[in-house]
Amino acid sequence: MAIATFVPRGPLPMFQWSAVAAGLFVSLGIHIVLTAFGLGVAFMGGDVMEGGMAAMGLLLWSGLAWLMASFVGGYVAAWVSGSLRYIGGLFHGLVMWGALTFVLMFLPPSTTMGVGAMGSESALSVPVISSVAWFVAIGGLLSLGSTIWGALVGSSVVEQVEAKTETYRAA
């Protein structure tokens, strides 16, 4: 008769929703400002670029803004969480990425998807829906990687700060 032994795991890291919220709001702010900058550049002056070029440029800029915002958001979420283990910072960054992606899909001025901005009277063609879907799928995967990178960098900063405070503590 085999007896299964209980092997205790280490303590589970505390999940800090405030860290996720901090990363989410920072990433949303960065994304909104960068998207507004891209719109300002695209429509600067009286002459607007050709319709297809302007739309493609804005789409690419929005994707780049999404990547930068998700990196900084993951960094902030991991750093504010104060997790001394990489996995704790990583999970905070992943939850922040999920919340960011959800919010971006329903922001009307967002050029990512703007699902919330579509009314029932707007009929989109199949090629437009297909290109937007591909953009969101590829951009979402790239932003996930960017968030993971940011969360790992943020966790390493927490680890370095903790190591320095232990070394330099007053007697």
Q: Which carries the bigger pLDDT value, residue 50 or residue 26?
A: 26
Structure confidence at residue 13 (pLDDT): 60
Answer whether residue 146 shows pLDDT above 70.
Answer: yes
Structure confidence at residue 117 (pLDDT): 46
Answer whether residue 6 shows pLDDT above 50.
Answer: yes
Answer whether residue 65 shows pLDDT above 80.
Answer: yes
Report pLDDT digits (tens) over 11-44: 656 788 999 999 999 999 999 899 888 888 877 7
pTM of structure: 0.76
Structure confidence at residue 9 (pLDDT): 62
CB atoms within 10 A of CB 157: 14
Answer whether residue 171 shows pLDDT above 50.
Answer: no
Give dist(CA 73, CA 154) in Å, integer. Answer: 10
* pLDDT band for position 112 (cuts 50, 70, 90): very low
Structure confidence at residue 122 (pLDDT): 55
Name the maximum alpha-carbon separation found in the chain: 84
Q: Report how far Cα 81 is from the mean position of its chain's Cα atoms.
A: 16
Cβ atoms 84, 162 nearer than 8 A: yes
Structure confidence at residue 26 (pLDDT): 97
What is the DSSP code string of 55-82?
HHHHHHHHHHHHHHHHHHHHHHHHHHHT
Show me where the domains of the chain are located. 60-115+128-171
Q: Which carries the bigger pLDDT value, residue 121 or residue 116?
A: 121
Cβ atoms 47, 66 nearer than 8 A: no
Name which of 132, 59, 124, 72 is nearest 100 in CA terms: 72
Structure confidence at residue 163 (pLDDT): 67
